[in-house]
Structure 1
Amino acid sequence: MEWPVATERGTADELARTLREAILRLNRRVRQTRAVGDLTFSQLSALTSLQLHGALTPRELADVERVQPPTMTKIVGKLEDRGLVARTPHPTDGRQVILAPTEQGRTMYAQFEQVRNEWLAEQLAALSPDERDVLARAAQIMQQVAQA
């Protein structure tokens, strides 16, 4: 499929719709792969953020996840109840705590990563080297857009 160059607003809007649809479908397909435990998508996302960004305060984690602090409090509570995340006192601010994955949380994250990557890696292996190069570049751009 040939994609239009996004030089006009209409083309950018069309590309945005097409890209959003592709992301949603791919995300749904990856999420349909074998589940690891019974964590919700939000819980897995928070655990992933802690694994990738390191220890964070609840507020920092809410900011990374782009949710309100009360929502993150509920998510973290569920992760703590499962023994996947631990709170420790903040080293310089006695009013704050630091959240970090426990050993069990790191293990759960590793299992989750392996499971969700297996299916996608199989699909990518079926593509041509040129198609994989295009996707690699697109992934970099999508990361930039997601962090904007």
Structure 2
Amino acid sequence: MTERTVMAVPVTAVQLAPMVRDAITRLNRRVRQARPVGDLTATQINALTSLELAGALTPRELADVERVQPPTMTKIVAKLEERGLVQRSPHPTDGRQVILAATEAGRAVLAQFERARDEWLASRLAELRPEERDTLQRAAEILRKLARA
């Protein structure tokens, strides 16, 4: 069997955009599925993650970040608070509002989810050839650069 050299055909940014978006979307979905067994929903995990990344937020701000209606976020927060994963504090300047933040238990749950996702992804990455992992390392750097823009 003879080896055949395949020449990569350059693609335009317009052609590459849907390819990259699709690959990221599919990988993101699969990584999100790799989570420890538990009764938290993806929506609850997302809200908890947003609180951890953004710090303290009002319920309205959290609803905006998560792109859900405030009544929906009220239900999500109630479930998280019931489990001790989120705490409410008085708003420092507006007595009518509260500030939400992840608790230590909430941060521990997030760390557990991250470990499960990282373990799944590491096992998949281990199946790749070293050159493929090198390519992905460069791609990750480029994707971080795109995300900053």
Question: TM tier, shorter chain?
Answer: 0.7 to 0.9
The percent of aligned pairs where both chains have the same amino acid is 62
Runs of 4 or more above 6 Å deviation: none
Read off the aligned partner of 2:140 and give its amino acid letter.
L
TM-score (norm 1): 0.79
Measured in 2, the distance between the counterparts of 1:65 and 1:44 equals 11
Measured in 2, the distance between the counterparts of 1:87 and 1:40 equals 20
Measured in 1, the distance between the counterparts of 2:125 and 2:10 equals 19
Gaps of 5+ in 2: 1-7
Read off the aligned partner of 2:92 and give its amino acid letter.
P
Aligned-pair CA distance for 1:58: 0.8
Residue deviations 1:39-86 (CA, integer Å, cap 9, x gap): 111110110111111111111112222222222112111111221111
Aligned length: 138
In the alignment, what sits opposite 1:9? none
Read off the aligned partner of 2:27 and give its amino acid letter.
L
Measured in 2, the distance between the counterparts of 1:99 and 1:3 equals 48
Q: How does 1:53-132 map to 2 (within 5 A)?
A: 53-124=54-125, 126=128, 127-132=132-137
In the alignment, what sits opposite 1:4? 11
Read off the aligned partner of 1:138 and give its amino acid letter.
L
TM-aligned CA distance change 1:49 to 1:3, over 3 Å: farther
Whether the 8 Å CA contact 1:33–1:116 is kept in 2: the answer is yes
TM-aligned CA distance change 1:66 to 1:73, over 3 Å: same
In the alignment, what sits opposite 2:145? 140
Whether the 8 Å CA contact 1:36–1:112 is kept in 2: the answer is no
TM-aligned CA distance change 1:2 to 1:144, over 3 Å: farther
Larger radius of gyration: 2
Provide the secondary structure at the position in 1 that maps to 2:31. Answer: helix
Read off the aligned partner of 2:11 and give its amino acid letter.
P
Provide the secondary structure at the position in 1 that maps to 2:72. Answer: helix
TM-score (norm 2): 0.79
TM-aligned CA distance change 1:35 to 1:91, over 3 Å: same
